[in-house]
Chains A and B, each alone.
Chain A
Amino acid sequence: MKISLTVNGEKRALDVKPETRLLDLIRDDLGLTGTKEGCGKGECGACTVIMNNKVVASCLVLAAQADGAEIKTIEGLGGKDKLHPLQQAFIEKGAVQCGFCIPGMIMSSKKLLDENINPSEEDIKRGLSGNICRCTGYVKIVDAVKEAAHKIKSGGEENV
């Protein structure tokens, strides 16, 4: 069946099966493999994307349910020519180890900072509570989110 949606600002029209997951659409049909599958059951958060301004586990959303939706993935945040402050902060604070959880972590962080640019440590932990890092680098990840908030505030709108 045919659906259309906007992914990272680009309008896409695709043919999907009813059982195609949003994650499969993003990775297989659109080739945006920055979004990862870790468990397929909404437990790990590696597949987190922003859908209509909400964080979702794209493994638990049917592609058909994203018909007409606006999706943002890690690729839509910033490339190496112009890194998003979150990406920059994750690099600087050493928050990246194996890296497999990082796209999901950054998307959850993005949503968190979109809503609250002055998050407390508790706010950050709650905002990232759906994302697991098995390298267990949580301290530096929390540091990176704080640093990104600082960067965004001091850099003004254009940084975001």
Chain B
Amino acid sequence: MKKQSINVKNKLGTSGKDSDKYFRPESKEELKKILEDYTDELTVIAGGTDLLVANYKNLYKIEKWLDLNWLDSFKEIKIFDDKVEIGSMVTHERLDKLDQIKEHFPVIQKAAADVGSPQIRSRGTIGGNIVTSSPAGDLLPTLLVYDAKLKIISKDGERIVDANDFFTGPKQNVLGDGELVEKIILPLEENKSKGAWVKVGKRKALVISSISLALNLVFDNDNKIKDARICVGSAAPVPLRIEKAEQSLKNKKIKKVNIAEIAQIVSDEISPIDDIRGTAEYRRKVAYNITKSALQEVINQ
């Protein structure tokens, strides 16, 4: 069948700021005012790639929208001597494509490249990924291996929380009513570091990971491992640092590391569940394998 031409009349008007159900602050001051007026009535939308899915066919039930997409300051990436600040509204696409991220935080870049699909990466944001706090959130393990801190703001002020302390359970975190993540602060390491990222799912694209692993090793001047961070996703209620494995990596040269031993520690330390994406047993086996392949990848770098 061919299309009949449909006559659609243009209506005059612009702005989008004329609704009492939809707020799009363009500055932090405006944002704070809105948070003051409507704290617990607001539904915050960042990229929308989780929110619109969760509320499919129920969007009309949302009373008041707070859209962070017009806050340019939340989209900034600032590079200082000792740290990089990533605004919470930076998209996965930008994290994937920006040279500075690739240079300083390659594990974040790789994880961002593995998120969803081009359509999801172009809208979904690092802040959204954090606040949704899914145990399978792709960026979360990578933030923990870089010792990220989160700057949280509210109408009353602001606070800094360690990413390691932010997540409290599946889709749960320390944010209170009216609190937002403004930026992610990543310390810049003076020493040389190498990292790896492994995501395992049933497909390559548009898949919620069955298990994922982020690895970051910092080396001292003698090429010994000065600091080690291993974090596993989808294997516990929150992204899980494997401190026991980290400890046994420290002060060793990478080539002297017993890879199988570290892999076994990771496999033993996680607390996975049986779910639609895999059994606990499967996840333990895969955790073992991906730990080995991640360490091997670092050795080969």
Whether A and B touch (Cβ < 8 Å) is answered with: yes
Spell out A's residues near B (CB within 8 Å).
1-4, 12-15, 17-19, 21, 29-31, 33, 40-43, 45, 48, 54-57, 59-62, 64-65, 67, 108, 111, 126-127, 129-131
Spell out B's residues near A (CB within 8 Å).
3, 6, 8, 10-19, 21-22, 24, 45, 47-49, 52-53, 56-57, 59-60, 62, 65, 67, 69, 93, 116-120, 122-123, 204-206
Q: Closest 5 interchain pairs by CB?
A: A130-B117, A2-B13, A129-B205, A31-B6, A19-B59
Residue contact B16 to A67, C-beta cutoff 8 Å? yes
Residue contact A1 to B22, C-beta cutoff 8 Å? yes
| Complexed CA–CA distance, A30 and B8 (Å) | 6
Given known A43-B206, A56-B123, contact A21–B59 (CB-CB < 8 A): yes
The residues of A that contact B56 with a CB separation of less than 8 Å are 40-41
The one of B11, B53, B93 that contacts A14, using a Cβ cutoff of 8 Å: B11
* 11 A/B residue pairs, CB under 8 Å, sorted by A: A21-B59, A42-B117, A42-B206, A48-B119, A61-B52, A62-B45, A62-B48, A62-B52, A62-B65, A65-B69, A67-B15
Given known A60-B48, A62-B67, contact A129–B10 (CB-CB < 8 A): no
The residues of B that contact A3 with a CB separation of less than 8 Å are 13-16
| Complexed CA–CA distance, A140 and B23 (Å) | 45
Given contacts A14-B11, A40-B57, A129-B118, 15 further A-B pairs with CB under 8 A are A1-B19, A1-B22, A3-B13, A13-B10, A21-B59, A42-B49, A42-B120, A60-B53, A60-B119, A61-B52, A62-B65, A64-B24, A67-B16, A108-B119, A131-B117
Closest CB in chain A relative to B9 CB, distance in Å? 10
Residue contact A130 to B21, C-beta cutoff 8 Å? no
| Complexed CA–CA distance, A1 and B47 (Å) | 20
Residue contact A41 to B53, C-beta cutoff 8 Å? yes
Given known A42-B120, A60-B52, A129-B204, contact A19–B62 (CB-CB < 8 A): yes
Given known A19-B59, A59-B52, contact A130–B13 (CB-CB < 8 A): no
The one of A1, A31, A65, A108 that contacts B48, using a Cβ cutoff of 8 Å: A65
The residues of B that contact A18 with a CB separation of less than 8 Å are 19, 21-22, 62, 65
| Complexed CA–CA distance, A65 and B68 (Å) | 10
The one of B15, B21, B22, B119 that contacts A55, using a Cβ cutoff of 8 Å: B119
The one of B6, B8, B48 that contacts A61, using a Cβ cutoff of 8 Å: B48
| Complexed CA–CA distance, A59 and B223 (Å) | 50
The residues of B that contact A56 with a CB separation of less than 8 Å are 119, 122-123
| Complexed CA–CA distance, A42 and B117 (Å) | 9
Which residue of chain B lies nearest to A53 when distances are taken between CB atoms in the complex? B122
The residues of B that contact A131 with a CB separation of less than 8 Å are 117
Residue contact B14 to A60, C-beta cutoff 8 Å? no
Which residue of chain A lies nearest to B65 when distances are taken between CB atoms in the complex? A18
The residues of A that contact B59 with a CB separation of less than 8 Å are 19, 21
